[in-house]
Structure 1
Amino acid sequence: MSSCAARPMVGAVVLTMNDRPDEFPRAVASLLAQEGIDLDVIVVGNGCQPEQVPDGVRTVALPENAGIPEGRNAGAAGVGGDYLFFFDNDAHLPDTDTLARLVSEFRRDSQLAYVQPRISDPATGVTLRRWVPRLRASDPARPGVVTVMAEGAVMIRRDAYDRAGGWPGHFFLFHEGVELAWRLWDLGCTGRYVPDIVVHHPATDPARHDTFYRLNARNRVWVARRNLPFSLVPLNLATWCLITLWRIRDRQALRVTLAGFREGLAGAHGPRTSMSWRTVIRLTRAGRPPIF
């Protein structure tokens, strides 16, 4: 067999709304510059026909903005490869061997379902706490097994992604990474954070989205109701409420958050597939009990 035939295939998914004319071309160019792998890139226009797309890169145009997780699902359905790489369109890969190094992590561990690199701001080098997929996030350079993921730059084993059912498309935005990670763990898989592999992404505030507080609260409820054993759902949500009341000082933001919480309790969370108690124990041993 030739060395070319033995190269791993990675399917890369990038979303666009044609609103980042500088960042988007840089993101795609950094993907196309990757070495040591075969690459299949697809750009999904979320409610638009993608623009600024290089020759040879396929596109999918969704008729309306279906949200980030459903847009990623649409892209994943259109690419090949044993590995899927989901990539924000304002990020970029500073090195040409980034994807090959991520693939190598999978080849060392057959149980590994997803690998997350360290995400850092290109100007400051700062890695935000929300980008570190564990509870003790003060040291972003510490590697190890993780039970959640930062969705904007993550590689997932294709067969595990398919068995888990992909991203929860109706979430639209926020917490889809927790949902998918929990489902992958419930399949008997694990995740790994590899901070010596770096991806650049501007350090933005998720609260810049006008739907942040509502969807953040609603989807947190949905994740618990869809995935946890019944007895853990109230513990998870009570913990989240206490932390939220402690963190949020703005009254308007708190009102919107509570409205989103009530919306989540009202239903529409979709099919429920409770994780096993064995998975609860595995997550706890890995450092993150699923009540947090």
Structure 2
Amino acid sequence: MSLPRLGVVIVTMGTRPRELDDLLASVRKQDVPAARVVLVGNATPLTDITADVTKIPLTENLGCPGGRNVGLKVLSESGEVDVVVELDDDGLLIADDVFRRVQQLFGDDPELGIVGFRVADEHGVTERRWVPRLRADDPMRGGPVTAFLGGGHAFSMPMLNGIGLWPAEFFFGHEESDLAWRALDGGWRILYEPGLVLQHPRTSPARHATHYRFTARNRVWLARRRLPVPLVPVYLGVWIVLAMVRMRSVAGVKAWWGGFVEGLRTPCGPRRPMRWGTVWRMTRLGRPPVL
């Protein structure tokens, strides 16, 4: 059986040119070359990029999921790839065998839909919030999970063709959960593989001015789109309590509740709740879809 062909999608706003150059260099040094690398410029012309990549400059910022969808559509329509690796533009592949190992994982398991990389800072430290499971004390414990990090991961193209692309309307926040839940509901497996490392600076998502608003709005949208009716109030109730306990500023509280109300009042896209069998599957994997 032939191994899957790999493609790469990177989205940038052009604000981190040095980090992007380093990332593209780390992609080029992989011992299994990508069939195609697509660089999407969110509201940036990409005129300074000299690397041999497919450049797609966008005139507007579509957000991370919207920008990634542009690249994914190009690769899907090309018919050149079977697996897509997506990387943050300030990440770095520190090993040169990442693509080969991704290729082997997908080649060995036709039901594998998503492989999540381990994200670590320049000192090799992986923060708890970067580990895609509730018991996050050991970042080196891999295996089947219910979630993945958007910074570094790989997708099966047949999976994407079956379940659809990123929820572009989310713009920023919880788009990974929406896609992961659809993948699990479609019968695909999600694997966390800590041996695949993306080096990434330690930053706070709250650095984005709209973080609290989008986080709350998208969490409500996620529940409305993907959860069976009885679980919607449970999920939202749990996250209201957690958000208020963790909040450290009055401005953050106001922005969060503004986003929550926005999530209730505005269209969230098509409602396709997961099956109860998927709820049970996620529970057996250690993270029921209310946490």
Normalised by the length of structure 2, the TM-score is 0.95
Question: Do the aligned partners of 1:221 and 1:237 also contact (CA within 8 Å) in 2?
Answer: yes
Q: What is the aligned partner in structure 1 of residue 181 from structure 2?
A: 182
Higher mean C-alpha deviation, range 234-243 or range 43-52 = 43-52
Q: What is the aligned partner in structure 2 of residue 43 from structure 1?
A: 39
Instruction: Give SS of 1:22's match.
Output: helix
- Cα shift readout 1:44-95 (whole Å, capped 9, x = no counterpart): 0101211442343111111200100010000111123100111000001011
Tell me the amino acid that sits aligned with residue 208 of structure 2.
H
Count of aligned pairs between the two proteins: 287
1:79-94 to structure 2, matched below 5 A, reads: 79=75, 80-94=80-94
Question: Do the aligned partners of 1:7 and 1:38 also contact (CA within 8 Å) in 2?
Answer: no
Tell me the amino acid that sits aligned with residue 200 of structure 1.
Q
CA distance in 2, matches of 1:160, 1:140: 26
Tell me the amino acid that sits aligned with residue 25 of structure 2.
A
CA distance in 2, matches of 1:86, 1:250: 33
Instruction: Give SS of 1:117's match.
Output: strand
Question: Do the aligned partners of 2:4 and 2:106 also contact (CA within 8 Å) in 1?
Answer: no
Question: Do the aligned partners of 2:3 and 2:107 also contact (CA within 8 Å) in 1?
Answer: no
CA distance in 1, matches of 2:210, 2:52: 35
Q: What is the aligned partner in structure 2 of residue 33 from structure 1?
A: 29
Instruction: Give SS of 1:96's match.
Output: coil
Question: Do the aligned partners of 1:226 and 1:270 also contact (CA within 8 Å) in 2?
Answer: yes
Q: 1:17 aligns with which of 13, 19, 22?
A: 13
Higher mean C-alpha deviation, range 28-37 or range 212-221 = 28-37
Tell me the amino acid that sits aligned with residue 153 of structure 1.
G
1:239-254 to structure 2, matched below 5 A, reads: 239-254=238-253
Normalised by the length of structure 1, the TM-score is 0.95
Q: What is the aligned partner in structure 2 of residue 113 from structure 1?
A: 113
CA distance in 2, matches of 1:142, 1:51: 42
Question: Do the aligned partners of 2:115 and 2:155 also contact (CA within 8 Å) in 1?
Answer: yes
What is the percentage of aligned positions where both structures have the same residue? 42
Q: What is the aligned partner in structure 2 of residue 270 from structure 1?
A: 269
Instruction: Give SS of 1:254's match.
Output: helix
- Cα shift readout 1:163-216 (whole Å, capped 9, x = no counterpart): 111100010011100000000000011101111221111111110000100001
Question: Do the aligned partners of 1:98 and 1:197 also contact (CA within 8 Å) in 2?
Answer: yes
Question: Do the aligned partners of 2:8 and 2:34 also contact (CA within 8 Å) in 1?
Answer: no
Tell me the amino acid that sits aligned with residue 93 of structure 2.
L
Q: 2:56 aligns with which of 50, 54, 60?
A: 60
Q: What is the aligned partner in structure 2 of residue 130 from structure 1?
A: 129
Instruction: Give SS of 1:44's match.
Output: strand
Q: What is the aligned partner in structure 1 of residue 289 from structure 2?
A: 290
Question: Do the aligned partners of 1:42 and 1:57 also contact (CA within 8 Å) in 2?
Answer: yes
Tell me the amino acid that sits aligned with residue 235 of structure 1.
V
CA distance in 2, matches of 1:20, 1:183: 32
- Cα shift readout 1:86-129 (whole Å, capped 9, x = no counterpart): 1000001011111111221222222210001211001x221122
CA distance in 1, matches of 2:134, 2:107: 27
| 1:285 to partner: Cα distance | 0.7
| 1:131 to partner: Cα distance | 1.4
Question: Do the aligned partners of 2:4 and 2:107 also contact (CA within 8 Å) in 1?
Answer: no
Whether 2:225 is the aligned partner of 1:226: answer yes
Tell me the amino acid that sits aligned with residue 43 of structure 1.
L
Instruction: Give SS of 1:246's match.
Output: helix
Tell me the amino acid that sits aligned with residue 107 of structure 2.
R
Question: Do the aligned partners of 1:18 and 1:51 also contact (CA within 8 Å) in 2?
Answer: no
CA distance in 1, matches of 2:213, 2:34: 40
Q: What is the aligned partner in structure 2 of residue 216 from structure 1?
A: 215
Whether 2:148 is the aligned partner of 1:149: answer yes
Q: 1:187 to 1:97 in 2, by over 3 A?
A: same
CA distance in 2, matches of 1:199, 1:174: 20
Question: Do the aligned partners of 2:3 and 2:104 also contact (CA within 8 Å) in 1?
Answer: no
CA distance in 2, matches of 1:52, 1:96: 25
Structure 1: tracts of 5 or more residues without a match: none
Q: What is the aligned partner in structure 2 of residue 202 from structure 1?
A: 201
Instruction: Give SS of 1:137's match.
Output: coil
| 1:7 to partner: Cα distance | 5.1
Q: 1:68 to 1:47 in 2, by over 3 A?
A: same
| 1:18 to partner: Cα distance | 1.2
User: RMSD in angstroms over aligned alpha carbons?
Assistant: 1.4
